[in-house]
Amino acid sequence: MHELSIALGILEMLEKNNYLKDIKIVKTINLTIGNYSGIDKNYLEFAFQNLGDNRFKIVILDCNYNETDDIKVNEIIAD
C-alpha cells in the first residue's frame, strides 16, 4: 500500500512550500493521476484520512486521469 507513502510525500511537499500555513482543514485535493502511476484513488483518500493529521481527516480527492505516469497536485480547497 504505497498510497500511504504518496500521501506522506504530498504532505511533505505542501508543508515545505508553506501551502498549509494557517490552514485548519483541507477539504479537497485536486490531483492529476496518470493511468501508469499505479495509484488507486480510494486507497490514497483513505491514506490521507488516516495520516493522523487532523487537517486531512475529512479530505476528499478530486482526480483527473491521463495516459502518463504523473502524480500531480493541482489545487487544494481548504478552510
Partner 1 sequence: MYPEHKKISIQRNALEANEIIAKSNKSKFELNKIFVVNMLSSPGSGKTSILEHIIPILKNKNIKACVIEGDVETDLDKKRIDALNIPSYQIITKGTCHLDARMIDKSLLNIDLNNLDILFIENVGNLVCPTSFNLGEDFKAVVLSITEGDDKPLKYPAAFYKSEIMIINKIDLLKVLDSNIEKIKENALSINNNLKIFKVSCKTNEGVNGLTDYFIKQVFIKQQR
Name the site residues for partner 1 (rule: CB under 8 A). Answer: 1-2, 5-6, 9-10, 12-14, 16-17, 19, 23, 27, 31, 35-39, 69-79
Q: 3-16 and 41-49 are packed helices; what angle lies between their axes, rounded to 10 degrees?
A: 60
- The three-state secondary structure class of 10 is helix
Q: How far is the CB of 75 from partner 1 (least distance, A)?
A: 5
CA–CA dist 44, 20 (Å, integer): 19
Q: How far is the CB of 55 from partner 1 (least distance, A)?
A: 13
* Closest CB to partner 1 among residues 39, 45: 39
Q: How far is the CB of 72 from partner 1 (least distance, A)?
A: 6
Q: Which amino acid belongs to residue 16?
A: K
Q: Cα 47 from chain centroid?
A: 9
* Closest CB to partner 1 among residues 54, 77: 77
